[in-house]
Protein backbone atom coordinates (compact mmCIF):
# COMPACT_ATOMS: atom_id res chain seq x y z
CA UNK A 1 0.00 0.00 0.00
CA UNK A 2 1.31 3.42 -0.91
CA UNK A 3 0.28 6.27 1.31
CA UNK A 4 1.22 9.60 -0.13
CA UNK A 5 -0.44 12.47 1.64
CA UNK A 6 0.13 15.94 2.93
CA UNK A 7 -0.15 15.75 6.70
CA UNK A 8 0.39 19.09 8.38
CA UNK A 9 -1.78 19.07 11.48
CA UNK A 10 -3.14 22.30 12.96
CA UNK A 11 -1.90 25.35 11.07
CA UNK A 12 -1.16 28.43 13.14
CA UNK A 13 -0.65 31.88 11.65
CA UNK A 14 3.12 31.55 12.04
CA UNK A 15 3.12 28.09 10.49
CA UNK A 16 0.99 29.33 7.57
CA UNK A 17 3.48 32.14 6.95
CA UNK A 18 6.38 29.67 6.92
CA UNK A 19 4.50 27.40 4.54
CA UNK A 20 3.85 30.31 2.17
CA UNK A 21 7.52 31.36 2.34
CA UNK A 22 8.57 27.84 1.39
CA UNK A 23 6.14 27.49 -1.52
CA UNK A 24 9.02 26.99 -3.96
CA UNK A 25 10.57 24.39 -1.66
CA UNK A 26 7.16 22.71 -1.47
CA UNK A 27 7.50 21.46 -5.03
CA UNK A 28 10.92 20.00 -4.30
CA UNK A 29 9.80 18.34 -1.06
CA UNK A 30 7.00 16.60 -2.94
CA UNK A 31 9.51 15.35 -5.51
CA UNK A 32 11.84 14.28 -2.69
CA UNK A 33 8.98 12.47 -0.90
CA UNK A 34 8.00 10.65 -4.07
CA UNK A 35 11.61 9.57 -4.70
CA UNK A 36 12.09 8.44 -1.09
CA UNK A 37 8.81 6.55 -1.28
CA UNK A 38 10.08 4.66 -4.32
CA UNK A 39 13.16 3.57 -2.37
CA UNK A 40 11.51 2.57 0.94
CA UNK A 41 7.93 1.49 0.22
CA UNK A 42 8.86 -2.12 -0.56
CA UNK A 43 10.83 -2.55 2.67
CA UNK A 44 8.93 -4.95 4.96
CA UNK A 45 7.30 -2.87 7.71
CA UNK A 46 6.95 0.45 5.85
CA UNK A 47 3.29 1.49 5.87
CA UNK A 48 3.64 4.69 3.80
CA UNK A 49 5.08 8.17 3.51
CA UNK A 50 3.79 11.73 3.61
CA UNK A 51 4.88 15.36 3.58
CA UNK A 52 4.42 16.97 6.98
CA UNK A 53 5.82 19.50 9.42
CA UNK A 54 8.59 18.85 11.91
CA UNK A 55 9.15 21.78 14.29
CA UNK A 56 7.22 24.02 11.85
CA UNK A 57 9.53 23.07 8.96
CA UNK A 58 8.54 20.88 6.00
CA UNK A 59 9.74 17.30 6.37
CA UNK A 60 9.14 13.84 4.96
CA UNK A 61 7.30 11.39 7.19
CA UNK A 62 7.88 7.63 6.94
CA UNK A 63 5.28 5.49 8.68
CA UNK A 64 6.17 2.04 10.04
CA UNK A 65 3.94 -0.88 10.95
CA UNK A 66 6.10 -1.68 14.01
CA UNK A 67 9.39 -0.48 15.47
CA UNK A 68 12.48 -2.24 14.11
CA UNK A 69 16.12 -1.22 14.53
CA UNK A 70 16.98 -3.05 11.29
CA UNK A 71 14.33 -1.12 9.37
CA UNK A 72 15.25 2.21 10.98
CA UNK A 73 18.85 1.69 9.84
CA UNK A 74 17.62 1.63 6.22
CA UNK A 75 15.76 4.95 6.42
CA UNK A 76 17.87 8.11 6.10
CA UNK A 77 17.72 10.89 8.70
CA UNK A 78 17.46 13.40 5.86
CA UNK A 79 16.76 13.15 2.16
CA UNK A 80 17.55 15.76 -0.51
CA UNK A 81 17.96 18.35 2.22
CA UNK A 82 14.72 17.58 4.09
CA UNK A 83 14.47 16.02 7.54
CA UNK A 84 12.97 12.53 7.55
CA UNK A 85 10.75 11.78 10.54
CA UNK A 86 9.85 8.16 11.29
CA UNK A 87 6.61 7.31 13.11
CA UNK A 88 5.23 3.94 14.15
CA UNK A 89 1.56 3.96 13.13
CA UNK A 90 0.76 0.29 12.77
CA UNK A 91 -0.86 -1.05 9.63
CA UNK A 92 -2.75 1.58 7.66
CA UNK A 93 -5.88 0.53 5.83
CA UNK A 94 -8.95 2.20 4.38
CA UNK A 95 -11.92 2.42 6.73
CA UNK A 96 -14.54 1.98 4.02
CA UNK A 97 -17.82 3.81 3.63
CA UNK A 98 -18.95 4.80 7.14
CA UNK A 99 -21.65 7.19 5.94
CA UNK A 100 -23.79 4.68 4.04
CB 5 within 8 A of CB 50: yes
* pTM beyond cutoff 0.75: no
Exposed / middle / buried, residue 47 (Cβ in 10 Å: 0-12, 13-18, 19+):
buried
Q: What span, in angstroms and rounded, lies between the C-alpha atoms of 20 and 22?
A: 5
pLDDT, tens digit, 9 for 90 and up, residues 15-57: 566 655 555 555 699 999 999 999 999 999 999 999 999 999 9
Confidence band for 81, pLDDT divided at 50, 70 and 90: very high
CA 52 to chain centre: 6
Full set of structural domains in the chain with CATH: 4-88 (3.30.300)
CB 30 within 8 A of CB 10: no
Q: Which element (helix H / strand E) includes 60? A: strand 57-64
Is the pLDDT at 70 greater than 90, yes or no? yes
Mean pLDDT of the chain: 81
Lowest mean pLDDT among 11-20, 35-44, 64-73, 77-86: 11-20
**How much is the pLDDT for 9?**
44
Amino acid sequence: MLLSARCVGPVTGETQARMEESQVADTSIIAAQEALTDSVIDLPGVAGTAVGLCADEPCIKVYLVRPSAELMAQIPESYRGFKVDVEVTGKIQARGDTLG
